[in-house]
Structure formats: structure tokens, C-alpha cells
Chain A
Amino acid sequence: MTGELNPGLIIILGALLVPLLPGRVLRGAYMLLLPIAAFAYLLGLPMGEAGQIEFMNLSLVTLRVDKLSFVFGTIFLIATLLGVIYALHVGDWVQHTAGLIYSGSAIGAVFAGDFVTLFIFWEITAISSVFLVWASRNSSAMAAGLRYLVIQVGSGVILLAGVLIHYQQTGSIAFNAMGTETLAGKLILIAFGIKCAFPLLHNWLQDAYPQATVTGTVILSAFTTKLAVYALARGYAGTEILIPIGAVMTAFPIFYAVIENDLRRVLAYSLNNQLGFMVVGIGIGTELALNGTAAHAFCHILYKALLFMAMGAVLYRVGTVKGSELGGLYRSMPWTTVFCIVGAASISAFPLFSGFISKSLIISAAMKEGYYWVWLTLLFASAGVFHHSGIKIPYFAFFAHDSGKRCEEAPMNMLIAMAIAAAFCIGLGVYPDPLYALLPYDVKYDAYSLEHVVTQLQLLMFSALAFTVLMRTGIYPPELKSINLDTDWFYRVPGSHLAQVANQFRSVTWQWVADGTVKLATKVHNALYQHHGPEGWFGRTWPTGTMAFWTTVTLGAVVILSYL
């Protein structure tokens, strides 16, 4: 019977066979087949809920296909396929298996119809994805992975707490619109917010993603945060608080992106900024805004993966993605340069590139609903994105001052993955109608009005002008061998000191308790020895006569007492 199996399970179960397959060709072909098979299967699924399982009085809905889950499921499957192609040259089966289980569980979570199923897939994404960080196999990746895992699993625990309270209060575990009035609603929002990298909850992203392997970061960039966006769109559409949260998210990471030296970390900051646009769309909650969020997630996954692929290729060939050490690579990697520029133009929302046709839905929705300050913030963030992702990434990696580094062009499989992603970026930008048709609501929107194209070009060209002027006057901050403090400082420095102090306190307390116990035991032992030991009063050997004497006295007392 069809329609019972969550498409995510096809990938997860399929991934388990990957380590057993001999030879890179066979394994590669099999891995390519998995997302294609899952997509073919998804296309055949009827809309609606299925896969109901009764489990301990809970009714689980393991499969829910509707327009919202379909559009996220589709882009997740495309991202899985791109991730597989990009990683075909990698021999390490751990990365392949972890990557597939991770993407499969994200897809599983998207099609989950209840909170328990969601929770299970939610935690599998956390546990499987950390292996993509650890696969870098160095001490800083190990530590970053551990921090990442604690935060990700923590998000799952908060989700579970929220779900349990929700179940106790309503008797339902259905994953639908939640609202923030109840404690359960608040907890679940926090759990989603952690995964979505809300401001101050964000730093796991910039901490861990740049530490993952070349191919791992590409896969990581697609799923975790967009799963959270999907979950927010499902549970918290129209929740007003998300509008300021999202607006802050669009603005503050770009300041960091400007001064960050590790170009993959620059991309992680700009990922955070792009999520902000989606969160604003969810907060506004109109049909136009929610369509914008879904469309932007779709386009964003492709161009963000493309940018991470380009930087990954640089890391793979040159051994570093630090802006201070790069420059002039267009000579060695012309194709990667071109693909990177396509990704940069897309994230900057240039007309004819994908970001333009998706981000504008959200900005238009903010305008239409009269959110003046939010609109201004989004415009500022759009200009800033062009500045740090659109110009900075390609400029410092491939142009700028020639670093003298020469290398080979990226491997063929990487180029193919980048070419497909770039084709999507341009294709969606030029002809957005197929994507618009996939969106959850039926909304007519024309991205290519003259007004819209010209105002967007004004914004972008004058951002470019600002960059040029600042560069030529020497005001633009140079790329420096450095790191910048972010919220992770709180748990990596004072937090770590606090843990050390706590550990000292624990060891001192333990010493005190242990010493006390030993003292007490010695005291008890000595007292017992004193009375019951060989020299003690109870331990003495008494003469038989004494016993006979006392027996007689007792018996006498009994006789006398019985006569009284």
C-alpha cells in the first residue's frame, strides 16, 4: 500500500546501506538514486494525512503532505541530490552516511503530522549532523561539534517539554498552529527559535558550520535552519513577536560579516541574515508573506549551497578560506569564480537572479501591511547583503590583490553540482512561475514591475558605489588574521571559568564530605571497639559464677514479683 511511508525514511533507511557498498562508483550511483527515488515516490503521494500509528494512546501522523510540506520537501530533496553530487569524490563513508541520514531526517520532519514524530526526526537531525562537523577530524572541530550537539539536543529537549505540557493540557499532539499564549506554545517557540538561530540563540551556527568538512558545510547549510523555518511557518504564522525578531536577525549579523576573515563564516553570518527575512515573513503571516517565506527558503537553499560549494572548492584546493590569505584565484579557478558570482548575484537579489523573485514577496508584504521600520530594516539588510556576500566573497577570494596562490580548478563533480545550483538560481530568477505555482497560497505577484526593478537596482548599485568609494579611499577595513567575539564568548570564556570554579567547588566539597565520612566512620568504629572490642566492657569474658549469681537474682525477683 502506498502513501504510508514518510519519504524521509527512504533516505534514512537507504543511507544505512551506504557503508556496505563496495567501490566508489557503485556507492555514488546508489546515493544519487536515493533522493531521486524519494522524489519520484513523493510525487505519487496523495495530498493529506496518512501513516497513522496508534502508540501508547497517542495517534501519530507520520506523513502529512500539503502544499507547505510539499514545497519544503521538494527543495530538501533537491538539496540532498546536490549535496551528494558535490561530495562524490569523498571516500569517507561516515560523511556520506551521516549526510544522508541528516537530510533524510530533515525531510522526515517536514512531513511529520504530529509533534512526537517531529521530535524524533528533530533529534536525529541533531545527532547525525554533528558527524559532518566531527569528520574534519581536528581538535577545534571536535570541540565545536560538541558545543553544537549540546545546543541542538537541548533544542529537542525543550521541544519535548513543550509537547508534553501541550499534550497534558489539550490531549492532542497534532502539529498545527500553536500560538504563544500557553507555556507549551512558548517552549516550542524557543525550541524552534534555537534551531532557527534567533538573535542571541544564534551562535552555534557561526561556531560549528565553518568547522565542518568541505562537503559537510554545504549539506548543513540547507537543512537545520530551514527545517526550523518550516516548523515556525506551520506553528507560528502571524505571531507578531516574530517580526521584530526577524528584523533584528536580518540586520545584526551583517556587521559581523563585514569584519569576519573566514569566508565560510561570513557565509554563516549571511545565512543568519537571510533567515531573518523568512522569520519576518512568518511573523507578518499574510498569504503573500508566507508565500514569500516559502519561496525565499527555496531560493536561499540553492544560492547559499552554491556559495558554500564555491568556498568549499577554494578550501579543498587552496587549504584555506581566510580572506587575508586569498586573492587572485580567478586565474586558477575560472569556473568556480563564475558560479560564485552567480550565487552572489542571487543572494543579493539582482533582477534575473533567484533572490530577487523571492525576497521581494516578503518586502512587499511588509510594505503592504504598513510595517515602516521593518521595511526600512529589510532594505538596509538587503543593501548590506550585497555588500558582504555579493561583493566581499567573490572579491576577496577571486580578485583583490593576487595572493600568488595557484591551484587546480575544482573537481568535476563539484563543478557539476555548482553548475546545477547556478542553473536553478538563474532559471528561477528569469522564470519564477513554476516556483510561484508550488507556493502554499494562490497569490498573483509580479516581481518584474518597472518600479521594482529600478528601485532594487538603485539600492544595489549605490551599495556597490559605497564599496568602491570606501575601497579606493582606503577606509574599507582590510581582511585581518583574526576572529571576532560573539555570544559564544559567554560560554567559552566566563562559562568555562565558571565550570572550572564549579569543578573546584565540587572537588573541595567532595573532599570535605569524604573526610567527614571517614572521620565519622573512624569515630563509630573506635566507639564500637571500645565497648565491643577484646578490651571492651561487652567484649569481656565473664566468670560463670557471675552469670549463675545474676540468674539466681533474676529468678528470685520473678518469684517475689509473682507473689505480690
Chain B
Amino acid sequence: MSADHNHKFETPPHERTWIDDPKNVDKIVYTLYAVCALLILIDPLIHKHGPFAIEHVWGFYALYGFIGCVFLVLAAKLMRVFLMRPEGYYDR
């Protein structure tokens, strides 16, 4: 029942599917890397019409998305230090 128990659960072999094989997960991840590489390589070919200079920097959207998300996660992780409470906090 507890969360610990959940983490220990091993999927029985007959229930395993394609995605349960770590090798296949690696394949998905490498595909993602390849797509990202492609998207950043074709960037100079795309003509951007926006008024802001920063948009015309090579790979701006890609870099911004990546850095933005890393910042988001790290900042949120830091927020846990101040804001996280046990589940029954308000019922005390």
C-alpha cells in the first residue's frame, strides 16, 4: 500500500511491453536528440518576421525552451524547501 512498496514493484515478465525495455527507451531518447539536432540545424533556413532582435539569434527558441525549463524545474525544486508540507498539514 505504501509508496515504498510501489517503488519496489517489478513488472512481471509476461506483462512487459516494448516500452518496458530500457533499450527501447534509449531509442526514443536518441530519436529526440536527433530531432532536436535537426531542428536547430535548419534554424538559419527559416526566415523570421518578428520585431524583436533576439528572435533572429541562431537557435533562440530552442535555447530559450531548454534553459527556461531547466530554470523552471530547479526553481520549483528550491520552492519545495519553503513550501512543502506533509499531506495532513491543514487537518492538524
- Is A309 on the interface with B (CB-CB < 8 A)? no
Chain B residues near A387 (CB, 8 Å)?
69, 72-73
- Indicate if the CB atoms of B64 and A383 lie closer than 8 Å: yes
Question: Which of B17, B51, B83 has the most CB atoms of chain A within a 10 A radius of its CB?
Answer: B83
- Indicate if the CB atoms of B36 and A367 lie closer than 8 Å: no
List CB contacts (< 8 Å) of A432-474 with chain B: 450-451, 454-470, 472
In the complex, the chain B residue whose C-beta lies closest to that of A367 is B50
The distance in angstroms between the C-alpha atoms of A256 and B76, with both chains bound, is 7
List CB contacts (< 8 Å) of A347-385 with chain B: 367-368, 370, 372, 375-376, 379-380, 383-384
- Is A325 on the interface with B (CB-CB < 8 A)? yes
The distance in angstroms between the C-alpha atoms of A475 and B87, with both chains bound, is 23
B contact residues, total (Cβ < 8 Å) = 54
Given A455-B48, A461-B32, A259 contacting B76 (CB threshold 8 A): yes
- Indicate if the CB atoms of A384 and B68 lie closer than 8 Å: yes
Chain A residues near B83 (CB, 8 Å)?
259, 484-486
Task: Give the segment of A94-102, A401-409, A515-523 that binds chain B.
Answer: A401-409
The distance in angstroms between the C-alpha atoms of A450 and B76, with both chains bound, is 34
In the complex, the chain A residue whose C-beta lies closest to that of B28 is A468
- Indicate if the CB atoms of A325 and B6 lie closer than 8 Å: yes
Contacting residue for B9 out of A330, A402, A466, A470, CB 8 A:
A402
- Indicate if the CB atoms of A477 and B46 lie closer than 8 Å: no
- Is B77 on the interface with A (CB-CB < 8 A)? yes
- Indicate if the CB atoms of B84 and A461 lie closer than 8 Å: no
Chain A residues near B17 (CB, 8 Å)?
331
- Indicate if the CB atoms of B91 and A465 lie closer than 8 Å: no
- Indicate if the CB atoms of A454 and B39 lie closer than 8 Å: yes
List CB contacts (< 8 Å) of A326-362 with chain B: 327-328, 330-331
- Indicate if the CB atoms of B73 and A466 lie closer than 8 Å: yes
- Indicate if the CB atoms of B76 and A258 lie closer than 8 Å: yes
- Indicate if the CB atoms of B66 and A463 lie closer than 8 Å: yes
Chain B residues near A475 (CB, 8 Å)?
73-74, 77
Chain B residues near A469 (CB, 8 Å)?
70
List CB contacts (< 8 Å) of A103-140 with chain B: 140
- Is A492 on the interface with B (CB-CB < 8 A)? yes
- Indicate if the CB atoms of A477 and B62 lie closer than 8 Å: no
- Indicate if the CB atoms of A485 and B3 lie closer than 8 Å: no
- Is A16 on the interface with B (CB-CB < 8 A)? no
The distance in angstroms between the C-alpha atoms of A470 and B40, with both chains bound, is 20
- Indicate if the CB atoms of A470 and B49 lie closer than 8 Å: no
Contacting residue for A484 out of B10, B64, B79, B91, CB 8 A:
B79
- Is A482 on the interface with B (CB-CB < 8 A)? yes
- Is A324 on the interface with B (CB-CB < 8 A)? yes
- Is B23 on the interface with A (CB-CB < 8 A)? no
- Indicate if the CB atoms of B64 and A379 lie closer than 8 Å: yes
- Indicate if the CB atoms of A383 and B65 lie closer than 8 Å: yes
In the complex, the chain B residue whose C-beta lies closest to that of A456 is B61
- Indicate if the CB atoms of A462 and B65 lie closer than 8 Å: yes
- Indicate if the CB atoms of B73 and A370 lie closer than 8 Å: no
List CB contacts (< 8 Å) of A190-215 with chain B: none
The distance in angstroms between the C-alpha atoms of A372 and B91, with both chains bound, is 45
List CB contacts (< 8 Å) of A292-339 with chain B: 324-325, 327-328, 330-331
Chain A residues near B76 (CB, 8 Å)?
255-256, 258-259, 477
Chain B residues near A461 (CB, 8 Å)?
32, 35-36, 39, 62, 65
In the complex, the chain A residue whose C-beta lies closest to that of B71 is A380
Chain A residues near B49 (CB, 8 Å)?
451
Contacting residue for A384 out of B3, B69, B79, CB 8 A:
B69
- Indicate if the CB atoms of A455 and B46 lie closer than 8 Å: yes
Chain B residues near A380 (CB, 8 Å)?
64, 68, 72
- Indicate if the CB atoms of B62 and A458 lie closer than 8 Å: yes
Chain A residues near B47 (CB, 8 Å)?
451
Chain A residues near B40 (CB, 8 Å)?
458
- Is A12 on the interface with B (CB-CB < 8 A)? no
Nearest chain A CB to B77's CB is how many angstroms away? 5
Nearest chain A CB to B89's CB is how many angstroms away? 6
The distance in angstroms between the C-alpha atoms of A331 and B11, with both chains bound, is 11
Given A451-B47, A454-B46, A466 contacting B70 (CB threshold 8 A): yes
The distance in angstroms between the C-alpha atoms of A325 and B76, with both chains bound, is 21
- Indicate if the CB atoms of B46 and A384 lie closer than 8 Å: no
- Is A476 on the interface with B (CB-CB < 8 A)? yes
- Is A560 on the interface with B (CB-CB < 8 A)? no
The distance in angstroms between the C-alpha atoms of A399 and B68, with both chains bound, is 25
- Is A20 on the interface with B (CB-CB < 8 A)? no
Chain A residues near B91 (CB, 8 Å)?
140
Nearest chain A CB to B30's CB is how many angstroms away? 10
- Is A254 on the interface with B (CB-CB < 8 A)? yes
- Is A481 on the interface with B (CB-CB < 8 A)? yes
- Indicate if the CB atoms of A467 and B69 lie closer than 8 Å: yes
- Indicate if the CB atoms of B66 and A254 lie closer than 8 Å: no
Chain A residues near B74 (CB, 8 Å)?
475
The distance in angstroms between the C-alpha atoms of A300 and B60, with both chains bound, is 27
Chain B residues near A456 (CB, 8 Å)?
61
List CB contacts (< 8 Å) of B26-47 with chain A: 29, 32-33, 35-36, 39-40, 42-43, 46-47
Question: Which of B10, B65, B75, B79 has the most CB atoms of chain A within a 10 A radius of its CB?
Answer: B65
- Indicate if the CB atoms of B39 and A480 lie closer than 8 Å: no
List CB contacts (< 8 Å) of A13-39 with chain B: none
Chain A residues near B90 (CB, 8 Å)?
483, 492-493
Nearest chain A CB to B32's CB is how many angstroms away? 6
Chain B residues near A404 (CB, 8 Å)?
5-6, 9, 11
Chain B residues near A256 (CB, 8 Å)?
76, 79
The 9 closest A-B pairs by CB, nearest first: A466-B69, A404-B9, A258-B76, A462-B65, A458-B61, A459-B65, A462-B66, A458-B62, A383-B65
- 10 A-B residue pairings within 8 Å (CB atoms): A256-B79, A379-B64, A451-B47, A458-B39, A458-B43, A461-B39, A466-B68, A482-B86, A483-B90, A484-B83
New A-B contacts (9) at CB < 8 Å, excluding given A367-B51, A375-B52, A455-B48: A255-B76, A330-B19, A379-B61, A380-B68, A387-B69, A459-B61, A462-B39, A463-B69, A468-B29
